[in-house]
Structure 1
Amino acid sequence: MKAPMRVPLDGLPSQVTIYEVGPRDGLQNESTIVPVEVKAEFITRLAATGLTTIEATSFVHPEWVPQLADAERLLEVLPRAEGVRYPVLVPNERGLDRALAYGVTEIAVFGSATETFARRNLNRTVEESLAMFAPVVDRARTEGLAVRGYLSMCFGDPWEGEVPIGQVVSVATSLLDLGCTELSLGDTIGVGTPGQVTALIEALVAAGVSTERIAVHFHETYGQALANTLAALQCGVRTVDASAGGLGGCPYAESATGNLATEDLVWMLNGLGVDTGVDLTGLVETSRWMAARLGRPSPSRVVQALTPAEPEGARHD
């Protein structure tokens, strides 16, 4: 089969926006440096599949994430497709300065729901990290930029264990109060389950956060990403983060495995009759192309299922 049978479920949105994070969140976790020309072609191929939001890179200090040290060069050579958004991650005001110099129109900041990860990732407490983000968000909004607030460790922390829902809601609403236009709830180590997802989203809604401002970001550590995504959609969420070919993890949390594969997400949504505007065949081809550049097969189940078996004895020159 090349496509699933379409059988819609009641209560789901008719359309979902896929926030593609492979070029940033995926490639930042690679052990080797991917050439800037390969990154640019990867993004260009992703845009050609119909993805309309592709997180391009991160303006972090090169010593923190050397895999993304070429952010400026990438934006210089990257062709911009009409109707496609290319947000970037910035950690602080210096990162914002760099992003603005290259005409970026959307940024993201990356916070933590737990103190331990905030210390390990940002070398700050949660409160101190919010204080660091405040001028970044304020300046970006003044410049007319959209600002996404990533919130990591929303469903569990490898050092602190279970994360209380009230704690997540408190930090999440603080991010939105700074002026963030969107909030991405991250299951950084992939331990969440559907009931937990539903409970957190319901708690956010009860705190006055509209589901239109909520996105979800799941990892496949325990194989729960699609189930958790479906739970979020049933709550009214309409933006889902995913990574082409299942690339990525988190360089600051060793237990975080790959992101939800965009192909796996699109297959499920196609079967549910939910529109994404994404060409699955083209997406699979793009992930296969990128996997070849990285020298390993894609972990995406859909990419594997739709990839023809090679003849026995085939050679790779």
Structure 2
Amino acid sequence: MAVSMRLGEFLRARRARVRPEDVGLPGLPGRRRVAGLRREELSQLAGVSVSYYTRLEQGQSVHASDGVLNALATALRLDEHEHAHLRELASRRQPPRTRPPAERVDPLTRDLLRSVGNTPALVLGRRTDVLAWNPLAHALLAGHLDPAAPDRPGDRPNLSRMVFLDPRTRDLYVDWERKAQAVVGSLRQIAGHHPEDALLASLVGELSTACPEFAELWSDHRVRPCEADAYRLRHPLVGELTVTQQIVVPARSPDQFLVLVTTEENSRSEETLARLGAYAS
């Protein structure tokens, strides 16, 4: 999809989420025919002409100035990540999509993964393929899968597919909806960084076709980077525990993510994870 069309889709999705009263506009009598702000209302708030803003939404204009983008971001009440995504969509042309080579884990990253053996840890590629995991991460998050699968590029598990298409992963997350939103928000940001990645586009298309929940979340255009969040898990062997999943970006592999899974010190969850570690070993 051309960058101009992706920019238009993003603007329409964000406009639909802002109510007039959210930005100090008076409500008009009668039923509104559109969700959120009208184009005329957003143009007024951003200080641009309606015709110019319409061209942006219709994919007929790109490379808006920083001033216009900043004004649109303010009017749409974008957070810093959404603002950065808007600037990215407006400033680059869509290069031809290419099939990139298989991702590999740097030896130093493998050393780091091995050094945190008592902490569940895995390495994700930029398309959320599992490139490597330690035994405890495998036991915690994917004990039903082949532990050696990440070593075979053609068989690697994919975290996004697991969350949306694997019933066991759905059952693992007590608050599955929050995890699903986090995965889609991260994929949306990654897609903005790598519009040329044919494999990433194929993954999004596959999930959109196979899973209505993914398609609905993707159409919302929310952008959310992977950082840190807590989740309740219901593990089939050891029961419930609460974990925090945190992201570290390896120095030599900025497109990859080292995911560390921790528990609160001296908590029941820490004891539960230790019990799982005993099973795994």
Same-fold call, TM cutoff 0.5: no
TM-score (norm 2): 0.28
Mark the structure with the bigger radius of gyration. Answer: 2
Comparing both structures, which one devotes a greater share of its residues to helix? Answer: 2
Give the number of the structure with larger relative contact order, counting CA–CA contacts within 8 Å between residues 6 or more apart. 1
TM-score (norm 1): 0.25
